[in-house]
Amino acid sequence: MILKNGLIWTENRWVKSDLKIDEGKIAVISSSITPEEREEVMDANGNLVIPGLIDLHVHLREPGFTEKETIKTGTEAAVRGGFTTIACMPNTKPVIDNVETLHYLQERIREESRCHVLPYAALTTRLAGKELTNFEELTKLGAFAFTDDGVGLQTASTMYEAMKKAKLVGKAVVAHCEDMSLVKGGAMHEGEKSRELGIPGILSISESVQIARDVLLAEATGVHYHVCHVSTKESVRIIRDAKKAGIHVTAEVSPHHLLLTEDDIKKNDANWKMNPPLRSKEDRAALREGLLDGTIDFIATDHAPHTPEEKQEGFERSPFGIVGLETAFSILYTKLVTDEGFCTLEELLHWLTVAPSNAFSLGKGVIKEGEIADITIIDLQKEENIDASTFASKGRNTPFHGWNVKGLPIVTIVNGEVKWNKGGVAVC
């Protein structure tokens, strides 16, 4: 296959070139490539050709919660959003906490996945925070990293032992940070909006106190410690100080925490309920500053689908989480690059491609001869109104329904195969 006349992001510069894909890899990048007889040619003129996007925080819900999402629907949502590699969380039913369940998940990924899927394994059995899983066997079977995402690990001694085991097998500990003794049944950020709506709040320090504990444990064990979905200014400060101290800590931030605040919540609508919750304007400003100065390494969606029936229960009764795979690039590009000028297109691409790859040494996120052909084509001029009813994901739970956005992924290529073509690129 040859992509003709695209504006290619390669070696940290834009080059208008042709790109030839052969046996799943990028074979040639050149100003002009002549197709062989019957070779497929795709006209990318006027569009960006970028590395496939990477999302290291996704909930595919399979096994056990297939009414919310499946590997097939979740990865279809991923390729429609321009993602070629995602990592799926282990809070399924049963939990991915043993080799039999991990093996089953891997078989389902091989059968159904539309993109690369890296499976996490749990830190503790049933995510209960007590008994550690078998790190050695799960690593041998291909666990990407270890996490109890969805719940915070409450006991410091258990986290300490988990980090020691993860260090031995060369894997990262990926942490959802939440001290439940400070949550007290909260459903949204503790602040003016929670008081206005009469909804119990969640203190910011419920997140930051666990991060403070964990970075010291990471220093003691030498493990790679990664913080999921950072949401508060205190958390950013702790992570920044930890990095300055030479501790191996990385961190991610979600699109919704970069774009929204508690002030955007107008009513008791659970499509705005996520964990961690939307915070204050000061918190959002700290997240953005942390992303710019490298304290926060990359962006991850925390794609968390639920059924419409579950989300109709309101803030106090419905589950936490929103979907994000199909909206991430367009909302970030529209708001952060074009509307606000907060960052450049190139910085945004860095946070969605090479930065997550570098944080976990994936060897992905670049377009270069000899590399795997994971490629996304973006039409920066194309606009659309986000309509949750059209999502490939089973989840419709998004606060971005109705937003007018531009900068749309229109073709996604995984291992050299076209997995999504929105129809805007002609196949010659």
Answer whether 271's CB lies under 8 Å from 318's CB.
no
Q: Which letter does DSSP use for residue 178 in this model?
A: -
Residue whose tokens read 């690593």: 139
Residues recognised as catalytic? 302
Please report, as a single letter, which amino acid is at residue 215. V
* 32 strand-pairing partners: none
For residue 421, CA distances in Å to 10, 376, 418, 426 come to 22, 10, 7, 9
User: How far apart, in whole angstroms, are the C-alpha atoms of residue 109 and residue 372?
Assistant: 19
User: How far apart, in whole angstroms, are the C-alpha atoms of residue 90 and residue 87?
Assistant: 10
**For helices 281-292 and 233-244, angle between their N-to-C axes, nearest 10 degrees:** 30
DSSP strand E in 216-308: where?
225-227, 249-253, 298-299
Q: Which letter does DSSP use for residue 416 in this model?
A: T
